[in-house]
Structure 1
Amino acid sequence: MEPYRLVLADDHGLFREGLRRILEESPDLKVVGEASDGRELLDLLKGLTPDLILLDISMPNVRGIDAIPEIKKIRPSAKILILTTFSEKAFVYESIAMGANGYFLKRDAGPDLYSAIEDIRRGKIYVPRYFSEQLGLDWEDVRRAVQKPALTTREKEILSLVAEGKSNKEIAELLFISVFTVKRHRTNIMDKLNLKSTSELVKYAIQKGYI
């Protein structure tokens, strides 16, 4: 059987080096490329055909999570495992909704990483059991998230303005839309990200770099 071909995308060189050592302990895995930011990754993929990309969620020059749709355009068959330190529920939902095949916390790099890769190789969506329990997720929640579309350009625009403290009326005036339309967009955003309050929405926007 041919080794499972991997690309590592993370802006921390020491982490990539350690990750490569862990992965290449398995004869079934082969690291065929590395990238230190989102733009470098997209350029790299034009000349490589990996089976799986291990992708940091917050790299510079095109954030990892924003690179997912572009990766799918360049290499539709490549699968994506998000690597992150973020344990917030919204990040899991957005990553899977954007098209990632799994979500893995960096602190668990080791034997659990092999399990994650094997699950994805078999066509499953990987989220650690303890992580799902901690966040109130189950497999059905994750699979439903896959079916939800990512935020639209307008929704991202409204998310940024909400995070800046703008009221619905102020947002409506800035974007030349009705207050009703703003409220509808906010409801859609909250639903897609599985957020329950404006404070959660603002926290998410700050962590994701929308402001």
Structure 2
Amino acid sequence: MKRILIVDDHAVVRGGLRQFLASTDDLEIAAEAATGFDALALIPGGDWDLVLLDMSLPDINGLELLKRIKRMRANLPVLIFSMFSEAEFAIPALDAGASGYLNKDSPPYQILSAIRTVVDGGRYVSPSLGEQLLSGVASSSQKAPHETLSRREMEVLLLLSKGVTLTRIGDSLHVSVKTVSTYRTRILEKLGVKSNAELTRYVLQHKLG
């Protein structure tokens, strides 16, 4: 039986996956974590075959948590399971060490296929992402404003849109408040907005978080 650690702040998602995988004879949700720090406490001592990781957590950005997990246990497979746009976040997640990226809107058979592929040591990308990787990304002239943000700027944007303070963002990303403030200024300029409220509106309008 393959043991899965699920990291997601929504109890309904954790419960749904536990019930769904209970119908299989080779997979089980062995433990759950609702926050990034809870996950980090479980990673070292657990006999995990897979981490199923949400990108949006209340304390640590998903990409940052992924990097920390891979630093702790480089060979532990991590499958991203997120509502975030695959086109926006899949490639950064794969670059950061994820073994696959799966959208929460995926049908059950695809969820099961992705989990089994990654548990068996493979890498999973959806057919649509596979086509994107083969065809290449759109030219920079066609990019939306948020697509010009760096990976770290995107992380800061998502945290700001949730009302996280500069101090807490700095603590989460291990940078100074001054550095976070610099990121915020760059983000405002690139997106053409003037306040955190407008940042939040932009994130909601573009379904980024």
TM (norm. structure 2) is 0.66
State which of 119, 125, 128 in structure 2 corresponds to 1:127.
Answer: 125
Q: Tell me which amino acid in the other structure corresponds to 2:134.
A: D
- Asked whether 1:78 is paired with 2:92, we answer no
Contact 2:87–2:129 (CA under 8 A) maintained in structure 1:
no
For each residue in 1:159-184, what CA deviation from the matched residue of structure 2 results, as whole angstroms up to 9, or x when unmatched?
A: 54321217xxxxxxxxxxxxxxxxxx
Rounded to whole Å, the distance in 1 between the matches of 2:64 and 2:207 is: 14
Rounded to whole Å, the distance in 2 between the matches of 1:121 and 1:56 is: 17
- Provide the residue aligned with 1:118 in structure 2: 116
State which of 139, 145, 165 in structure 1 corresponds to 2:189.
Answer: 165
Q: Identity of paired residues, percent?
A: 31
Contact 1:49–1:78 (CA under 8 A) maintained in structure 2:
no
Rounded to whole Å, the distance in 2 between the matches of 1:140 and 1:208 is: 21
Q: In structure 2, do the counterparts of structure 1 residues 64 and 109 end up closer, same or farther at CA, with 3 Å as the change threshold?
A: farther
Pairwise CA RMSD of aligned residues?
3.2
Rounded to whole Å, the distance in 1 between the matches of 2:25 and 2:183 is: 45
Contact 2:85–2:208 (CA under 8 A) maintained in structure 1:
no
Structure 1, unpaired ranges of 5+: 142-149, 167-201
- Provide the residue aligned with 1:189 in structure 2: none
Aligned pairs (5 A) from 1:34-113: 34-113=32-111
Range moving further from structure 2, 61-70 or 9-18:
61-70
Rounded to whole Å, the distance in 1 between the matches of 2:107 and 2:5 is: 16
- Cα shift at 1:9: 0.5
TM (norm. structure 1) is 0.65
- Provide the residue aligned with 1:138 in structure 2: 134
Contact 1:11–1:37 (CA under 8 A) maintained in structure 2:
yes
For each residue in 1:2-35, what CA deviation from the matched residue of structure 2 results, as whole angstroms up to 9, or x when unmatched?
A: x111001100001110011111211111211100
SS at match of 1:138: helix
- Provide the residue aligned with 1:171 in structure 2: none
Contact 1:5–1:30 (CA under 8 A) maintained in structure 2:
yes
Q: Tell me which amino acid in the other structure corresponds to 2:189.
A: G
- Provide the residue aligned with 1:4 in structure 2: 2
- Cα shift at 1:49: 2.4
For each residue in 1:109-164, what CA deviation from the matched residue of structure 2 results, as whole angstroms up to 9, or x when unmatched?
A: 5111111012213332211103443xx223999xxxxxxxx7697x9887543212
Rounded to whole Å, the distance in 2 between the matches of 1:130 and 1:18 is: 25
SS at match of 1:83: strand
SS at match of 1:107: coil
Q: Tell me which amino acid in the other structure corresponds to 1:56.
A: D
SS at match of 2:105: helix
- Provide the residue aligned with 1:13 in structure 2: 11
Q: How many residues of Structure 1 are paired with residues of Structure 2 in the alignment?
A: 162
